[in-house]
Amino acid sequence: MSKLVAGNWKMFGDQNMLSEIKVIDQYCHKIDCEVAICPPFQLILSAHQQTKNIKIGAQNCHINANGPHTGEVSAEMLIDVGAELILVGHSERRQDNNETNKIIKQKAEAVQRAGATAVVCIGETLEERKADRTLQVLQEQMLNCLPKNVNPKNTVVAYEPVWAIGTGLVPEIDQIRSAHSFIRGFLASTFGAEAHNVKILYGGSVKGSNAREIFSISNVNGALVGGASLKSSDFIEIIKAAS
């Protein structure tokens, strides 16, 4: 299956940075992988209007379509301005906003209801890995965060070990392989044949210099990239490794 390289800009980026998105979009003319950028909310519409070859996504949404929820944005509203995929359950939101598996599932359902692709983020903390609980944590998160219907169009799973995010630390190849193979097994046994084509992304300190090796691991169908997605030249190196 074709790989997906998605950039998560987190809370970085102003209108000047739309030029980076344009450079990435131009590079992505005629490549054989999918590319997406999830900028902060205020850039989604302009990014969508100024791109042809890549998808634009969002980093979060509310569980409802609309209502008296000051300061919130719904999946429907994000789609209205061009978002095609929406991250849910990023570990920074689990930590900073106390998002639980239950809330994350409701958000993933909201994304599906609206008709976009939910990128459901899962991953263990360093403490959990040291206690040899990684696969158990991944299973709990998948059991409790994934909606009833999961198929390649409505869902992507992103495996992001919390300790690898923004730290420069990358798991051993075998650790990535074993987590991704476990996730694939869970998806296949829970959602059936279609789940074989659900993309599983790796995220956590991916950069141009390690992307090729990470993409060669079985069941790694792409990457969710933070820091190295903010500069077009860095991000394009990762896209090259995937295409």
What residues are annotated to the active site?
90, 160
* CA 85 from centre of chain: 9
Backbone angles phi, psi at 32, to 5 degrees: -105, 40
Contact status, residue 56 vs residue 80, Cβ threshold 8 Å: no
Q: Which stretch binds ligand 13P (CB under 6 A): 18-26, 70-78, 106-114, 159-167?
A: 159-167
In one letter, which amino acid is 92? E
95 near ligand 13P, judged by CB under 6 A: no
Report the residue from 4, 8, 184, 187 that binds ligand 13P according to the rule CB under 6 A. Answer: 8
Q: Which stretch binds ligand 13P (CB under 6 A): 45-53, 94-102, 185-193, 226-234?
A: 226-234
Report the residue from 114, 165, 176, 187 that binds ligand 13P according to the rule CB under 6 A. Answer: 165
Q: Which is nearer to ligand 13P, 147 or 203 (CB)?
A: 203
Q: Tell whether the torsion through CA atoms of 176, 87, 191 and 135 is positive or negative.
A: positive
CB of 156 to ligand 13P, least distance (A): 12
Contact status, residue 117 vs residue 151, Cβ threshold 8 Å: no
Can you tell me the distance from the alpha carbon of 214 to that of 222, in angstroms, rounded to the nearest whole number?
9
Contact status, residue 156 vs residue 87, Cβ threshold 8 Å: no
134 near ligand 13P, judged by CB under 6 A: no
192 near ligand 13P, judged by CB under 6 A: no
CB of 70 to ligand 13P, least distance (A): 26
For residue 187, give the nearest of 196, 179, 174 by alpha carbon: 196
Q: Rule CB under 6 A: which residues touch ligand 13P?
A: 8, 90, 160, 165-166, 203-206, 224-228
